[in-house]
Amino acid sequence: MSSSPPPPAAAAAASLDLDGNPIAPLTICMIGAGGFIGSHLCEKLMAETNHVVFAVDVYSDKIRHLVDPAPPHLVGRISFHRLNIKNDSRLEGLIKMADLTINLAAICTPADYNTRPLDTIYSNFIDALPVVKYCSENNKRLIHFSTCEVYGKTIGSFLPSDHPLRKEPEFYVLKEDESPCIFGPIVKQRWSYACAKQLIERLIFAEGAENGLEFTIVRPFNWIGPRMDFIPGVDGPSEGVPRVLACFSNNLLRREPLQLVDGGQSQRTFVYIKDAIEAVLLMIENPARANGQIFNVGNPNNEVTVRELAEMMTEVYANVSGEIPLDEPMIDVSSKQFYGEGYDDSDKRIPDMTIINKQLGWNPKTPLRDFLETTLTYQHKTYKEAIKRQMSQVSASS
C-alpha cells in the first residue's frame, strides 16, 4: 500500500535551497504586507513554507482571509500588526524579533509623483530610513523593494527617433550593474519617485559596504495580477488615478474609452505576479546567492506598447465579460491633460535578466495574454456589480 503524500508543512520542512542545504524556518517582518505584492507573497509563504510572518501595514483588506482571524492551520504562522512606519516605536521591536525584513511600503502611483511629490519623496526615502537603520544596527537581513523607474530614461531616448542605434539592445536594455540612471529636469516632478528610490538604494548599498548590512534590492518591472491597485470610487478614492492596468480595467468596467496618454507609444514589459513571487521566494531562501545583489524582476518576452496593451485588454475583457467593445474603445489624451504639469516619461523599459538567471536560475513563464485573462476575470467578478450600483446611484442623484 503506497504512503500518502506529506502535508504541506512537512514537505516545506524537507525542502532544500539551490545549493542543496536545508531551508530553516525564518521569521519575516513584512512591511507593506497588506498591498498587492505583499498579499500574494503572504499567500505563497503560508501555502508552501514554514516561515512565520509579521504582516505590517495600515490596511489588511487584501490579506483579511489570512489574518482576520487567521485560519486554524495558520495560527502562530502569521500575525497582523497595524502600524504606520513613519512614527511607531513598535517597528524596531518587530525587526529585532525577525530574521529578515522585507520592505514593500511605498507610494508608487505615477499620478501621485506629479501631484504629491513631497509625500512621494518622504514615503520612498525618509520613511524607509529607519527600516534600513534598524536592520543594519541589529544585524538583520533586508530585502528592499525598489523600482525599475530608477533607470529613468534610456540612452536611446536621446537619439533621433529614426536613428538606427535606437534598435540596438545596448541603448535600451536595462542592466542592474551597468545601465546609468538618467532622469529628467527638476521641474518634471514625475521623477520625484525615481530619485527617492535611487537614493534609498544608494544608502542601502553604502550600509552594506561600510557596516556589513546583508541586503537584496528588487527592481520590479510592471508586476500584474489580481488585487493590483484599486478601482476609483469602489475601493479607492473617486479622484484617484491608479497604474495603467487598473486604469484600463476601470475604463472597461465602466464601458468608457481607454485613455492613451500621448498616444500610448511608450513600450513596457509586464510579468505575472505569481511568476514574480517565485523569484522573491528564491531570494528569501537563498541568502548566499541573493545577498548584495540588485535584481531586475520582469519578463522581456512580454513587451508591448501601451496602445497594444489597451487593444489586448479590450479584446480579452470582451471575452471575459461577454460585452461587445465600444465602437471607439480608445481615445488619445496628452500627458498634461491626464497627469497635469510636470509629467515626463521613459520611452522603453526592458529588463536584462542575466543576473537573476545566473544567481537564482529564475525565468518568468506566463505569457501576457494568459495573465491578462486571469486578472480581468478577477476584476470583472470583483468589481462589476459594485460599479453598476455606483453608476446607478450617480444617475439617480443627477
Q: Grid cell 516605536 — which residue? A: 89
| Cβ pair 55, 67 in contact under 8 A | yes
| Cβ pair 62, 85 in contact under 8 A | no
The rounded distance, in Å, linking the Cα atoms of 375 and 227 is 8
Q: Which residue in the list 134, 151, 172, 193 is annotated as catalytic?
A: 193
Grid coordinates representing 350? 526592458
The rounded distance, in Å, linking the Cα atoms of 230 and 138 is 36
| Cβ pair 281, 30 in contact under 8 A | no
Residue 193: active-site member: yes
The rounded distance, in Å, linking the Cα atoms of 376 and 224 is 11
DSSP category for residue 142: E
Cα distances (angstroms) measured from residue 188 to each of 159, 240, 394: 20, 20, 36
Q: Which amino acid is at 108?
A: C
Active site residues: 193
